[in-house]
Amino acid sequence: MSSIETITFKGIKYPLFQAEGFAAQFAFPFALKICKGVGYDIGCMRREWAFPGSIPVDKNFNDGWNANKLPHKNVDYIFSSHCLEHVENWVGTFDYWTEILKPHGVIFLYLPHPDQIYWRPWHDRKHHHSFSVDIIKNYMIDNNYINIFNSERDLNHSFMIFGEKDAIQ
């Protein structure tokens, strides 16, 4: 018996933890260095899974707040893990998040990598989009983000990308 629990999808094995939620835990060590001040964790799913010190926002909380309706403007950061692929109009949502940020505010995203096949929209109908680093990076560049940094695929089949809202927006 293997000590590493796995799941298999279309003949490919993945670690079981990828299907259990709370992907954000793998991004927290990096985000803690970048996300400072007052900010949101959008799409955290459970309050106990929220980015430390953030204002947790999830459509499941029954408080009326969600990715496209946030309680406060002018926040220092937005942290979001495995959420943007669930919204129907990701560009509109990202535009809204940009409006909510203070000048020099930070967006920190942790997103499913497109090589994880069971997270693709045609396999997981809760996902409306499949992102690459280049798609998100190009959006950020076109929308005047600066200091953009990204990882490549990690062992959770996800990637991190963050950037700073330019004060000239």
Look over the chain and give the mean of its residue pLDDT values, rounded to a whole number.
93
Pick from 56, 55, 51, 58: nearest CA to 34: 51
Rounded Cα distance, 158 and 111, in Å: 5
- 12-15 and 39-42: which strand pairing? unpaired
Under a CB-based contact definition with an 8 Å cutoff, are residues 77 and 105 in contact? yes
pTM metric for this prediction: 0.93
Q: What confidence score (pLDDT) does residue 167 get?
A: 82
What integer is the mean pLDDT of 161-167? 95
Asked if pLDDT for residue 136 goes beyond 70, the answer is yes
Rounded Cα distance, 147 and 165, in Å: 9
Q: What confidence score (pLDDT) does residue 2 get?
A: 72
Q: Which pLDDT tens digit goes with each residue over 42-73?
A: 999 999 999 999 999 999 898 889 999 999 89
pLDDT band at 147 (very low <50, low <70, confident <90, very high): very high
Rounded Cα distance, 105 and 57, in Å: 18
Q: Which pLDDT tens digit goes with each residue over 91-117?
A: 999 999 999 999 999 999 999 999 888
Pick from 97, 93, 47, 101: nearest CA to 74: 101
What integer is the mean pLDDT of 107-130? 88
Q: Which pLDDT tens digit goes with each residue over 8-18?
A: 989 988 888 88
Q: Could you tell me the domains of the chain? A: 22-165 (3.40.50.150)
